[in-house]
Amino acid sequence: MQKRKLGKSNLEVSTLGLGCMGMSFSYGPPKDRQEMTALLRAAVEHGVTFFDTAEVYGPFTNEALLGEALAPFRGQVVIATKFGFDLNPNLDPRGMTGAPGLNSRPTHIKQAVDGSLKRLKIETIDLLYQHRVDPNVPIEDVAGAVKELIEQGKVKRFGLSEAGVKTIRRAHAVQPLTALQSEYSLWTRTPEKEVLPALEELGIGLVPYSPLGKGFLTGKMDANTKFDSTDFRSTLPRFTPEALKDNQALVDLLGQIGKRRHATPAQIALAWLLAQKPWIVPIPGTTKLNRLEENIGSVAVELTPDDLLDIERAASKITVHGARYPEKLEQMTGR
């Protein structure tokens, strides 16, 4: 596995990380804990050193899973987690459809970090993200609280998730950001217009979540795909049968390039992301070993300038149908 540095920080991680949310949350019922422990350890054996979780995943159970599974590898792995929600036992198991309230008040951040440290069984959080920007708390106060936690040794680095450029700049001025986590893939290219240039200017890395379009870009779905009621995707406009059918052209494109490069659609989608910037580290999630190995295989896929041009030309003619989130959740992004 190759390594990359997130922006100008000295944080070096595996070129591909592992998004762990689906092991406990959002994509149907929680998976078997022993199986997920084995998968997490297999990821380390395959060279993955960057793992992504959050207190809201479960809530809490995903952090506890990583804390136990990765305990033998302390010092070898980087664990990123997130704060920013008011959590309660009645949280909708499909994910954030029940929309727990945002809470980034400094006192709450400090409580959240203490809880995460216990569940993750670590003394310091490698990378701490604000999960969503809280419009009721100035970002300077959020960055200031994290700065204090860094000074106390409880946190090493600060990041934001789904933040807009103005917020990124304001936060970075108080406590330098190591990374921004946002959705970015061939079917969600929103960051390209303003966010990517700002990150490059400031020396901040990008960690794309859902780099495979929540599974769609693997080519394993079509208009007949059915989602369990506990699957977050059952609530997303982009995953209606009509939208899945209309968006198939994107998967067909990945398949065509894949045949040329002897790679799967998923591998081409990830290789395309890796080719955009050297400071981009995608975190595809999976609960299956064969998918983990397939994703890791993307690191060896080198797309030529002609490949990238062909993808760009074809993708520019494809209109993606369906919003990525319901309106209430979409409003939490880009602030």
Bond preceding residue 59 cis, omega within 30 of 0: yes
SS3 state of residue 280 = strand
Tokens 């998968």 sit on residue: 39
> End-to-end CA distance of the chain, in Å?
35
Q: Is 29 helix (H, G, I), strand (E, B) or coil?
A: coil
**Exactly one of 57, 129, 184, 209 is catalytic; which is it?**
57
Closest Cα partner for 48 from 7, 4, 16, 5? 16
Q: What burial letters (b/e) apply to 99-127, b meaning 16+ CB within 10 Å?
A: ebebbbbeebbbebbebbbebbebebbbb
Residue written as tokens 């009721």?
A: 136
CA distances from 122 to 58, 147, 229 (A): 19, 19, 35
Measure the CA angle with vertex 132, ends 127 and 138; round to 5°.
Answer: 95
Structure tokens at 213: 């379009």
Q: Where are the alpha helices (DSSP H) in the chain?
A: 33-45, 61-69, 106-120, 139-151, 165-174, 195-202, 241-246, 248-261, 265-276, 289-297, 305-316, 327-330
Whether 57 is catalytic is yes
The residues annotated with a catalytic role in the active site are: 57
